[in-house]
Amino acid sequence: MIVRDVICPFCACLCDDLDVHVEEGRVTGVDNACDLGSHKFMTDHRMEGPVRRTASGWQDIPLEEAIRETAELLQAAERPLLYGWSGTCGEAQSAGVHLAERVGGIIDATTSVCHGPSILAIQEVGHPGCTLGQVKNRADVVVYWGCNPQHAHPRHLSRYTTYTDGFFVKNAFKERRLILADIRGTDSTNVADEVVRLQPGGDYAVLGALRAIVRGKGDVVPPEVAGVSREQLFRIADLCKKARYGAFFFGMGLTQTAGKYKNIRNAIELVDELNRHTKWTLTPMRGHFNVYGFNEVCTWMTGYPYAVDFSRGMAFYNPGETTAVDILARKECDMCLVVASDPAAHFPAEAVEHLASIPVVQLDPFPNLTTAFARIQIPVAVSGIDAEGTAYRMDGVPLRLRKVLDRGYPDDVTILSEIARRIGEGGGA
């Protein structure tokens, strides 16, 4: 059987044109997906059933028991952290926010270690955003700053920018100018018309110099800024000003380097300057397929996009204090529920160490490195493969993920709702 027009649940491009071949409850082939998407559909290393870590090894346990014990651990905790959420659907994220409120815990998403700083900058100076359809049909100058879409979002260029024609861009490969800014050469810089090779940590200064030039204060720019020549800066500023429609995309190169949200604020203000001359928009290259969804869901439920602390009986948000890495590094939480992410692989060791001293429960289809710290792991269905639900693309467009096969696993919503029901039966927290 071939299931057509399937949405890919890997990255936040949410490519919606996959054909998935299914035979006897297994995915046997995927058409149109990139390497990353294909591997996700084809990976078949799922955990069979719930397990508990014991002194002597790993023990199979019934689902009922795993849910009961998780509810008891959450209820007994004084300061539980509910972390992850970017690899599941909006309905599960909603159940997670309700659960966090019920147990007076902290809920944070992988946002805090990807585009959290972008949100902080947007909260300061706004978001000149657009849908990816606008970029595809209109943009004649595209900037990718501090990102490598060929590796992290492999179909971004072929679906929205360099390699796809648009309504107003009839021959994209010739008409679209591609500017890549990075500290190293990548497969993305290899296809750019203009490559800005800046020194590590030089993003803020280079963006500031471009702002000065666009504003007409180019005389203050020195011969070289963070490894970038004055001539190239003027050339890029000119290219950007002459665009009919410019699209600025950026990644971890801005959010994870020194300056963090101030880098993004500078990028947004550059886009603001450019909008005095022509039309420009800015879009964060969101990573996980539904990390944006958590920010949407959490915002409409609590008023805040991530890192929400319910311990005061109300939603409290203070990134740097209520974010997962900080909570763990301060050894503050006394229980952790991990859903659809892998903090043990992606957090600094100092934060991971605390997971070893507290009860951890993980909801994830696969054994991952957080499994090493889990007291209990409950394998669940993979959203977008054997569970349906809503996900938000990197431009904020919600799309409905499909269920292409049934492997018999419960989905995240079912498990989280059952945990919440048990806590309710026990009188709440």
Partner 1 sequence: MILNTGRTIPQGNSVEFKPSPEYGAETSRAFLAPLDLMDMGIEAGDRVRIRCGSRSAVLTASASDDVLPGSLFVPYGPHANHVVPAATHGTGMPDFKGIAVEVEPTSDPVRSVWDLMEDLGGKRYDR
Question: Residue written as tokens 């989280």?
Answer: 416
Q: Does 345 bind partner 1 (CB under 8 A)?
A: yes
Distances (CA, A) of 392 to 87, 114, 164, 178: 11, 16, 22, 26
Report how far Cα 206 is from the mean position of its chain's Cα atoms: 26
Rounded distance, CA 231 to CA 245, Å?
Answer: 23
Q: Does 258 bind partner 1 (CB under 8 A)?
A: yes
Q: What is the enclosing helix (H) or strand (E) of 120?
A: helix 116-125
Q: Does 348 bind partner 1 (CB under 8 A)?
A: yes
> Looking at 86, 148, 162, 302, which residue binds partner 1 (CB under 8 A)?
148
Buried b / exposed e along 33-55 (16+ C-beta atoms within 10 A): bbebbbebbeeeebbeebbbbee
Scanning residues 204 to 243, which ones bind partner 1 (CB under 8 A)? none
Among the residue ranges 71-79, 93-101, 167-175, 324-332, the one whose residues contact partner 1 (CB under 8 A): 324-332
Q: Does 26 bind partner 1 (CB under 8 A)?
A: no
Question: Residue written as tokens 């022509």?
Answer: 278
Q: Does 110 bind partner 1 (CB under 8 A)?
A: no
Q: What is the DSSP string of 375-427?
A: SEEE--PPBTTTB-EEEE-TTS-EEEE------SPPPHHHHHHHHHHHHHHTT
Q: Does 117 bind partner 1 (CB under 8 A)?
A: yes
- What is the identity of the amino acid at 58? W
Backbone angles phi, psi at 100, to 5 degrees: -60, -40
Query: How many residues lie near partner 1 (CB under 8 A)?
Result: 69
Q: Is the dihedral of CA 167, 168, 171, 176 positive or negative?
A: negative
Q: Which C-beta is closer to partner 1: that of 18 or that of 141?
A: 18
Among the residue ranges 23-31, 155-163, 341-349, 391-399, the one whose residues contact partner 1 (CB under 8 A): 341-349
Classify residue 111 by its DSSP letter: G
Q: Which C-beta is closer to partner 1: that of 230 or that of 262?
A: 262
- Please say whether the beta carbons of 310 and 319 come within 8 A: no
**Residues 165-204 vs partner 1: string with x where CB under 8 A?**
------------------xxxx--x-------x-xxx---
Q: Which C-beta is closer to partner 1: that of 174 or that of 184?
A: 184
Q: Output the smallest distance, CB 162 to partner 1, in A.
A: 18
Q: Output the smallest distance, CB 200 to partner 1, in A.
A: 5
Question: Residue written as tokens 């109300």?
Answer: 314
Computed over its alpha carbons, how large is the radius of gyration of the chain? 23
> Looking at 269, 342, 395, 418, which residue binds partner 1 (CB under 8 A)?
342
Q: Does 313 bind partner 1 (CB under 8 A)?
A: no
Q: Where does residue 333 rank: exposed (0-12), middle (13-18), buried (19+ CB within 10 A)? A: buried
Scanning residues 41 to 80, which ones bind partner 1 (CB under 8 A)? 43, 45, 51, 53, 58
Scanning residues 374 to 403, which ones bind partner 1 (CB under 8 A)? none
Between β-strands 57-60 and 194-197, what pairing exists: parallel, antiparallel or unpaired? Answer: unpaired
**Residues 360-379 vs partner 1: string with x where CB under 8 A?**
------xxxx-xxx------
Q: Output the smallest distance, CB 227 to partner 1, in A.
A: 8
Q: Output the smallest distance, CB 100 to partner 1, in A.
A: 17
- Please say whether the beta carbons of 404 and 386 come within 8 A: yes
Q: Does 344 bind partner 1 (CB under 8 A)?
A: yes
- Secondary structure class of 257 (helix, strand, coil): coil
Rounded distance, CA 50 to CA 30, Å?
Answer: 29
- Binding residues for partner 1, rule: CB under 8 A, are 10, 35-36, 39-40, 43, 45, 51, 53, 58, 108, 112-113, 116-117, 120, 148, 151-152, 154, 183-186, 189, 197, 199-201, 252-253, 255-258, 260-261, 287, 307, 319-321, 323-326, 328-329, 342, 344-353, 355-357, 366-369, 371-373
